[in-house]
Amino acid sequence: MLQMNTLTITTTINRRNYTLCINPNQTLLDILREELGLSGTKRGCEIGECGACTVLMNGRAVNACLVLAPQIEGQEILTVEGLAVGEQLHSLQEAFLEHEAVHCGFCTPGMLLSAKELLDENPNPPETDIRFAISGNLCRCTGYVQIVEAIQAASANKPERKP
Ligand code: FES
Ligand code: FES
């Protein structure tokens, strides 16, 4: 139900323009999951600690749980649902599959977006940069090794996969 303090904003999410009626105290995470049904972005800690809600805002990784809905006015948001183009998975998604970097999958959307920010900035990052880029994304399953390998595989240097 709309309330007195509802705001109307325009924003772009996954290359699609939206005009949204929002409550100013909603977060970007609320908008994505509850208003738009984009549940690929995960709700974990809601205090900026776990990285499960990571999306890109104008190409920069942000925690959607810490971004208030009015802040997305005029911004471009990319979520995991927007990574693939049509049937074509993003190279990071293919690498995560190939390297079995997805276990329970809860951290995966956020990992993918953090990795995309890194590779967009530096297509050939050293391992230390990869580990730094995903340092805000907690994974309880993989031990990170397969995730790092997948990001390396999607990067320009594409090392051979270990047997
Ligand atoms: S849900 Fe946003 S950082 Fe954990
Ligand atoms: S795959 Fe389960 S939290 Fe990362």
Instruction: Report which protein residue has its CA nearest ligand 2's atom 4.
Output: 139
Superfamily of domain covering 7-82: Beta-grasp domain (3.10.20.30)
Handedness of CA 65, 70, 75, 80 (dihedral sign): positive
d(CA 22, CA 114): 27
Mutation test residue for ligand 1: of 53, 57, 67, the one with most atoms within 8 Å of CB: 53
Ligand (nearest to CA of 111): 2
Examine domains 7-82 and 91-154 and report if their fold is the same.
no
Q: Whole-number mean pLDDT of the chain?
A: 94
d(CA 130, CA 163): 21
pLDDT per position as a tens digit, 37-94: 999 999 999 999 999 999 999 999 999 999 999 999 999 999 999 999 999 999 999 9
Residues with CB under 6 A from ligand 2: 102-107, 139-142
- Stated pTM of the model: 0.93
Q: Is the CB of 46 under 6 A from ligand 1?
A: yes
Instruction: List the domain boundaries for the chain.
Output: 7-82, 91-154
Mutation test residue for ligand 1: of 50, 57, 137, 139, the one with most atoms within 8 Å of CB: 50
Cα separation values, 128 from 47, 60, 118, 148, 156, Å: 26, 19, 12, 10, 16
Answer yes or no: is pLDDT of 107 > 80: yes
Quickly state the pLDDT bin for 32 (edges 50, 70, 90). Answer: very high
Burial readout 29-56 (b: 16 or more C-beta within 10 A, e: otherwise): bbbbbeebebebbbbbebeeebbbbbbb
Taking domain 91-154, whether its CATH number is 1.10.150.120 is answered by yes
Distance (angstroms) between ligand 2 centre and the Cα of 8 equals 36
